[in-house]
Structure 1
Amino acid sequence: MHVILHPGFHKTGTSSLQRGLAAHDSIMAPRLRYVLMTEMPEVIRAARKYSRKPKPMNLVAFGEAFDACLEALEDDTSRPLLITSEDLSGLIPGKFGVETYAASSALMDRAVDRVLARFGPETKIDIWYTTRAPEAWLRSVYYQLLRGTRLTEDFAKFQMNWANAARLEDVVAETARLVEHKATVDAGRLEVCANTALGPLGMFLDRYRISTQGLPPLPVENVQPHGVAEELLAINRSKMSDKVATEAKRRILNKYRSAGATTQAAGGSA
């Protein structure tokens, strides 16, 4: 039995990987089975809660939710099993008081223990993170928070205040320390696959020697259009009510989507 846990991080191509799997389910089914975010809502809810309030009881609740998810799976050893969601690392830093991915390592340690309990001590477990260069990651997080919150900092101040959150490699190292002798831990940088036809999905499949034959190129989505951050920041700093501001941001983003500015052809850079 081979289980691969992919706990993100956010803004490192995770959505692209998951969309690729879902879009090509008929091709991938004989090669890989996988569990996406939508198939484990209680697990995700518990992981987010633990990242907000890292109390022992919340970690126990995450383990119980993970147990229930695993119990629903068949003992199929013919294909690797991938469990993938960026929220397995908790909430993205910047939301609800979460400042870093400090919760991720403990969540993965608990997940590994539950996998071993479910499938047996001989189970091969890999934890595979996707990471990104700190400044590029912070710019992407900044853009997401501009869209979803009333963030009013300019990027220079945001980058200074949230530098610790961008230390993704430190989280990977801490996870490796915690699960030593139980699982292997590896990471792939988004920059390595940014200009490839399959992006993060291709990087994952290559890493675990799963065939990419027959998979068409994937477009790059959620691209940040030039100038949009400044427009969103102006709205956030305005005296608009939250309701009016949300509608104004929706109109701006729809304008860019209609113009095709949020999607690039495969081979482009995000």
Structure 2
Amino acid sequence: MSRIVIHAGFHKTSTSTPQAWLGAARGPLRPHAKIVPARGMQALLHACRACSTLPEPLSPAKVAARAEAVAWGIAGLKGRALILSAEALSGHPPGRPGIDSCAAAPALPAELTAALARRFPRAALPPLRHRNAAPDDLLHINRPISDRTARRDAKTARLRQAAGTR
């Protein structure tokens, strides 16, 4: 029986390390797993980001339709695991303009899970576990670049002043 793993998480929540590892290990893992990276599901990721930015009645339907397209675009697993990994499967994180909560995040991977369950009815789909950093932490991480640059420049100036250099 094949197993399906969906790895979704916000930017700056330690999602890049497993994604990099999966990318690097893709060749050796090929006999055991089908890995679908972000570049293999761009339309779905775009819909997920849009759903968190523009919560409109049609957004979940777009996510569902694009999740179906991803699911049906995957050839038979033949006993291999299926691993889908991308940050944007959770939408945009809080801290971006107009986004102050993680409200859309749990529903987005759930749409993909439902589509995969229809496509691979005999595959083992573990229950979704959704863990996030606190929204306040994400707001801090995702401040506009100019704010972070200004803080970094101010810190650099203080350190140089303390060291007596320019």
Name the TM tier (shorter chain): 0.7 to 0.9
Q: 1:18 to 1:117 in 2, by over 3 A?
A: same
Q: Is the 8 A contact 2:44 2:70 kept in 1?
A: yes
Q: Which residue of 2 aligns with 1:15?
A: 16
| Distance (whole Å) between structure 1 residues aligned to residue 90 and residue 74 of structure 2 | 22
Q: Is the 8 A contact 1:34 1:82 kept in 2?
A: yes
Instruction: Find the residue that maps to 1:46 and give its secondary structure.
Output: helix
Aligned-pair identity (%)? 24
1:108 aligns with 2:109: yes
Q: Which residue of 2 aligns with 1:231?
A: 152
Q: Is the 8 A contact 1:11 1:141 kept in 2?
A: no
Runs of 4+ in 1 over 6 A off after TM superposition: none
Any stretches of 5+ residues in structure 2 without a counterpart?
Answer: 157-166
What is the CA deviation profile of residues 93-120 of structure 1, one whole-angstrom value per residue up to 9, with x for unaligned ones? 1113111211012212322221122122
| Distance (whole Å) between structure 2 residues aligned to residue 24 and residue 70 of structure 1 | 22
Any stretches of 5+ residues in structure 1 without a counterpart?
Answer: 153-227, 235-251, 253-270
What is the CA deviation profile of residues 48-96 of structure 1, one whole-angstrom value per residue up to 9, with x for unaligned ones? 0111122231110111111111111111142111111111110021113
| Distance (whole Å) between structure 2 residues aligned to residue 144 and residue 52 of structure 1 | 15
Relative contact order higher in (CA < 8 Å, ≥ 6 apart): 2
Give the aligned residue type for 1:145. Answer: R
The alignment's TM-score, normalised by the length of structure 2, stands at 0.78
RMSD: 2.7
Give the aligned residue type for 1:231. Answer: R
| Distance (whole Å) between structure 1 residues aligned to residue 82 and residue 97 of structure 2 | 32
| Distance (whole Å) between structure 2 residues aligned to residue 33 and residue 128 of structure 1 | 21
Q: Is the 8 A contact 2:90 2:104 kept in 1?
A: yes
| Distance (whole Å) between structure 2 residues aligned to residue 31 and residue 6 of structure 1 | 17
| Distance (whole Å) between structure 2 residues aligned to residue 25 and residue 11 of structure 1 | 23
